[in-house]
A and B are shown apart, each in its own frame.
Chain A
Amino acid sequence: QKEVEQNSGPLSVPEGAIASLNCTYSDRGSQSFFWYRQYSGKSPELIMFIYSNGDKEDGRFTAQLNKASQYVSLLIRDSQPSDSATYLCAVFQGGKLIFGQGTELSVKP
């Protein structure tokens, strides 16, 4: 079992729709969770992070955490073509980030 798992996609949504990206993790003791966006050929860019169970909203982005289910998600409302990228879920463990393989998102005009 991988430490952090994401569906690799691609996930395709029409412009204006809600994109839902999912991530599961294996270490029940994990406390901090991060979402990064990575455009092709570029480095990861932090979108948001979450520590507590429930929802955390930042503009069009909402992160959701369910520690009992070991599940983290990222919702992107009113998706735009500029949101097309790979979204990386990362879990902080033992002083370092453990990343999933990323989910490729394509937003179609």
Chain B
Amino acid sequence: DTGVSQNPRHKITKRGQNVTFRCDPISEHNRLYWYRQTLGQGPEFLTYFQNEAQLEKSRLLSDRFSAERPKGSFSTLEIQRTEQGDSAMYLCASSLGEGGQQPQHFGDGTRLSIL
């Protein structure tokens, strides 16, 4: 049973560039979540999918952020026109069914640094 896989592990880019992160969930998990974590804080929810349907995106930080899960398997998170404040750890998690009864398992994260 492989865990949640995220790529890349680290991304360094200049302000104003677009970045895309990928998350491959645990194979049988139908729910996929994106969180952001800054230093000294707990993870902050961004969006989640059940299969290919995006069930909530109101917590995406701005319209520069978007996420997709086109075939209900892997997901991508894109940030357009990056800003200094986007520097953070971006975490993906997956669960089998509704997360209230099924715990979420996290990947190793993608650390984004904006120069």
Contacts and interface: CB of A to CB of B under 8 A. Distances in A.
Interface of A: 4, 8, 31-32, 34, 36, 42-46, 49, 51, 88, 90, 92, 94-102
Contacts of B105: 46
A43 B35 CA distance: 11
13 contacts: A8-B40, A34-B103, A36-B106, A43-B89, A43-B108, A44-B43, A95-B98, A96-B59, A97-B33, A97-B104, A101-B41, A101-B42, A102-B41
A92 B33 CA distance: 13
Interface residues of B, number: 26
A95 B48 contact: yes
B106 A43 contact: yes
A46 B33 contact: no
Given A88-B43, A95-B55, A102-B42, A46 B48 contact: no
A46 B103 contact: yes
Given A43-B106, A44-B91, A45-B106, A95 B99 contact: yes
Contacts of A44: 43, 91, 106
Contact of A43 (B48, B59, B98, B109): B109
Contacts of A100: 42
Given A31-B100, A32-B100, A43 B45 contact: no
A99 B33 CA distance: 14
Contact of B42 (A94, A95, A96, A99): A99
B92 to A, nearest CB: 9
A32 to B, nearest CB: 4
A99 B91 CA distance: 13
B101 interface: yes
